[in-house]
Structure 1
Amino acid sequence: MSGLLALLDDVATIAKVAATSIDDIAAGAAKAGAKAAGAVIDDAAVTPKYVAGFSPARELPIVGKIAIGSIRNKLLILLPAALLLSAFAPWLIVPLLMLGGSYLCFEGAEKIYHLFKPHAPYADGHLPATDDAEHLEASKIAGAVKTDFILSAEIMTIALAALPAGQPVWMQAIALAMVAVGITVIVYGGVALIVKADDVGLWLARVGRLAATRALGRGIVQIMPGFLAALMAVGTAAMIWVGGSILLHGLGELGLHAPYDWIHHQAVAAAAALPEFAGIVEWAVTAFFDGVFGLIIGMILIPIVAKIIDPAIHAVTRKA
């Protein structure tokens, strides 16, 4: 009987440890997902353009296929790569994170740059020389999945860096899988709602029995272009802010503390001047200077990418 009680006590202890581990995993996944906010917003802002021009009946199937490609990117390629990186080359995490941060800064700065100096329209290299709707759809999906791979790599790297140090591999794997699935559902669920919102609005405007319902439908149709523009603006700002923050923290990890310390000093001083709003003020000032730093880095990268990196990539791909 004492042996049975001891066994039950051991089972209870294991259950408590398991419950604590689940809480730790969930907390780690939530924190990691929050850290990836900039890339997530950008992902949601970029994806709707891939369904533009298709019939309404094909919009959700296209979004669904892109979502499946995204989850494959994250779970089958990026998650194992992140675990191998954590196990065998953790010293690479900060440089890779900074590389992803640089990409975010570049993407955001390029969007701002083209607002003031629009580039000439050019043929999308992914589009096939055919009017076949199936080929066009497949090409658009392939291009979206490739873009998603880059954004997903940033998300998974940011998530990996945000997890508590010293976690067992299985806990890291579960947390990263939770981030991968959760972010994919949020992003592509949100995209599905966005791309169908105007259709819902039109339907309400046409068949609504009440004047208020029809007015709501017309309002949805009218507000969607502005909403998409606002989403793009928020996505751009988030990219630059998060990218700048990643670079500043990375520089600190590599021993260059001066930029981060200066920004922190300015934020603390501003918070001290408005003690009743100290937390909000400190965050806002930090985010502002992170964004300014990210924008400067992004603007510096634009000519480097245009004059050096892009030509090098095209030369390699042509030879391949």
Structure 2
Amino acid sequence: MSGLLALLDDVAAIAKVAAASLDDVAAQAVKAGSKAAGAVIDDAAVTPKYVQGFDAKRELPIIWRIARGSLLNKLLILLPLGLALSAFAPWLIPPLLMLGGAYLCFEGAEKIAHWLFHHEDSHTDSYESGDPAHLEEEKVKGAIKTDFILSAEIMTIALAAIPESSFWMEAATLALVAIGITVAVYGSVALIVKADDVGLAMAGGRFAAFRALGRGIVSAMPKVMKTLTIVGTGAMLWVGGSIIIHSLKDLGWKTPYSLIHDLAVKVAALVPEGAQGAVEWGATAFADGVFGLALGLLLIPVVSKVITPIWSAVFKRT
């Protein structure tokens, strides 16, 4: 009997350790995932365009196919690659972070330049002609390719945010980040895409309150999408600029970080003490975003005149 009690005590102790480990994994996953806010918001803002023009019955299946491809990218390619970098080449993580941060800055600045100069899209898809199944296949492939870039940035940011721990702890945390972010992004996209249909259904209901709410949802969705795009662009510039500045600090060049930190402290000193923390954070984020915008604007001609032609030439030969 005493042996059985001792065994139960051991099992309880192991269960407590496992529960604590799961709590640690969840806490680290939340912290790491929050660092990738800019890429996550942009992913949610970009994806709905891939279902535009298709029959309403195909919207959710298309989103599911993109979400599945995104999850496979994260779990089967990016997670093992991230763990390998962490184990064998951790010195590569800061440069990769800077590369991803520069990409976010470029994307954000390009969107702002597009808005300012009113460039019309030179390419429009025709959904009324051609094979709908083929068009859907092309759209899904394009969405998964775009998602791969954003997912790589998300996983790299998350990996850098995880405290040094065991291999399995890092693997579990990254897997939880991958699953959680994919569910959050594509669950949100599904809700956004189907909100119009829900609103239309409510607008045709029997009760006046439901009809008014349905009409409100339908009229609000264009504004919601525009707001989401603006917030996503701002988040990209803020996160991208912050990544570059903190990576430069880690590599030994602390001047940009120190200038922004000192400026934020001075701005925070102008408000009452209770609000200083929030104001300092806001000032830092704003300065990081301005830095990201400036860097992104500098990168636009480099990407358009150098990187894109080289990329196109390489892939045309393959």
Query: Is 2:283 aligned against 1:288?
Result: no
Which stretches of structure 1, 4 residues or more, deviate above 4 A after TM superposition?
A: 1-9
Q: Which residue of 181, 185, 188 corresponds with 1:187?
A: 185
User: Corresponding residue for 1:302?
Assistant: 300
Query: What is the deviation of 1:196?
Result: 0.5
Q: Supply the distance in 2 between the matched residues of 1:179 and 1:55 (Cα, whole angstroms).
A: 32
Query: Is 2:57 aligned against 1:41?
Result: no
Q: Supply the distance in 2 between the matched residues of 1:172 and 1:127 (Cα, whole angstroms).
A: 45
User: Corresponding residue for 2:237?
Assistant: 240
User: Corresponding residue for 1:204?
Assistant: 202
User: Corresponding residue for 2:112?
Assistant: 112
Query: What is the deviation of 1:52?
Result: 0.5
SS of 2:269's equivalent in the other structure is helix
Contiguous gaps of at least 5 residues in structure 1:
none
User: Corresponding residue for 2:171?
Assistant: 173
User: Given residue 227 of structure 1, which amino acid in structure 2 is its aligned partner?
Assistant: V
Structure 2-normalised TM-score? Answer: 0.95
* Bigger shift: residues 17-26 or 70-79: 17-26
Alpha carbons 1:127, 1:139 under 8 Å: kept: no
User: Corresponding residue for 1:143?
Assistant: 142
Query: Is 2:256 aligned against 1:259?
Result: yes
SS of 1:95's equivalent in the other structure is helix
Q: Report percent identity of matched pairs.
A: 65
Query: What is the deviation of 1:276?
Result: 2.5
User: Given residue 263 of structure 1, which amino acid in structure 2 is its aligned partner?
Assistant: I
User: Given residue 206 of structure 2, which amino acid in structure 1 is its aligned partner?
Assistant: R
User: Given residue 191 of structure 1, which amino acid in structure 2 is its aligned partner?
Assistant: V
* Bigger shift: residues 270-279 or 259-268: 270-279
Query: What is the deviation of 1:311?
Result: 0.6
CA-based RMSD of the aligned residues comes to 1.7
Structure 1-normalised TM-score? Answer: 0.95
User: Given residue 310 of structure 1, which amino acid in structure 2 is its aligned partner?
Assistant: T
SS of 1:273's equivalent in the other structure is coil
Query: What is the deviation of 1:23?
Result: 1.3
Contiguous gaps of at least 5 residues in structure 2:
none
User: Corresponding residue for 2:155?
Assistant: 156
Change (3 A) 1:13 1:226: same
Q: Supply the distance in 2 between the matched residues of 1:52 and 1:3 (Cα, whole angstroms).
A: 66
User: Corresponding residue for 1:317?
Assistant: 315
Q: Supply the distance in 1 between the matched residues of 2:220 and 2:16 (Cα, whole angstroms).
A: 50
Alpha carbons 1:240, 1:294 under 8 Å: kept: yes
